[in-house]
Amino acid sequence: MARYWGKVLTAMVTPFDAEGRLNLDMACRLARHLSENGSDGLVLAATTGEAPTLRDDERFELIRAVSEAVTIPVLAGTGSNDTRHALELTARAADAGADGVFLISPYYNRPPQAGIEAHFRALAAATRLPVMLYDVPCRTGRRIAHDVLLRLFREVDNIVAFKDATGDPAAAARLIAEAGEHFELYSGDDALTLPLLAVGAVGVVGTSTHWTGQAFGAMIAAYQQGDVLRARAINAALQPSFAFANTEDSVFSMSVKAMLRSQGLPVGECRLPLPPAPAGVQENAAQVWQDLQARLARLD
């Protein structure tokens, strides 16, 4: 269905120049490139966008510039583990041109479920924009409880979507069965998109979608049209891209930037604590891209 933002959303990396400064011109160029190559919407200043290393002024310069550069929806990452700070960020999102806000569960503090619920209710009340919640326990240290999610989706009108990076399709199926009419679920793990489509997900908020957006769109369309075999074949072709995007030595932002540089998009390196991509990643990116094109061509 994807009522608000589409089916293929890309959690966009944040481009920096050679001195590590925010590169707004490149951000706008990248956003337009993504919109022309399969992304229905963009998520800015989230984890893949290196949000922890962005100053507040940089965050809103980025959101404003990209929102003006593209016609597809832009979601602003305004989450924090400090509710007061997140309230300030969330309240500013609409004025910066965002079409929605993207809220990660509080990280590091490991609050009890009552604190998580109160945090999200306060942030949703701070904006008129539609809200997507994000649960990624491996980063936050605390999973959002099923009952908390049910109450939020049923009782808070502008909480309309959920990025599920829990790695638990069975829990996603239960959530959709019990509250599906109140929200839309997006896969938060590229490799689990097809399994989550099977239980009712509407799309993906991806990282490899920086270069696989059109393939993801085709896979989602095939599945929703009942062509499960084609969807499986596309998913199989995407496996090397999933493996490339995140390794022990090169995590998502690092790998994505290496892939983009290999495609002639100078997005720079990451800011510490993410170091430059290790030797060989850049070369491997080019090979992954070539192999993907060959695999997809064989499906036509």
Closest by CA position to 286, among listed 241, 254, 219, 250: 241
Kindly name the residue from 4, 107, 134, 186 that is annotated as catalytic: 134
- Which residues contribute to the annotated binding site? 48, 205
Q: Which amino acid is at 192?
A: L
- Which residues neighbour 288 within 8 Å (Cβ) at sequence distance 6 or greater? 240, 241, 244, 259
Instruction: Count Cβ atoms below 10 Å from residue 171 Cβ, excluding itself.
Output: 16
Q: Residue 163 catalytic?
A: yes
Bridge-based pairing state of the strands 184-187 and 41-44: unpaired
3-state secondary structure of 150: helix
The CA distance from 97 to 121, in Å, is: 22
CA-CA distances (angstroms) from residue 284 to 238, 263, 287?
15, 12, 5
The CA distance from 104 to 81, in Å, is: 9
Kindly name the residue from 4, 107, 163, 257 that is annotated as catalytic: 163
- Which residues contribute to the annotated binding site for pyruvate? 48, 205
The CA distance from 54 to 139, in Å, is: 18
Closest by CA position to 246, among listed 289, 197, 204, 190: 190
The CA distance from 267 to 285, in Å, is: 14
Q: What is the CA radius of gyration of the chain?
A: 18
The CA distance from 66 to 97, in Å, is: 9
Question: Which residues are part of the catalytic machinery?
Answer: 134, 163
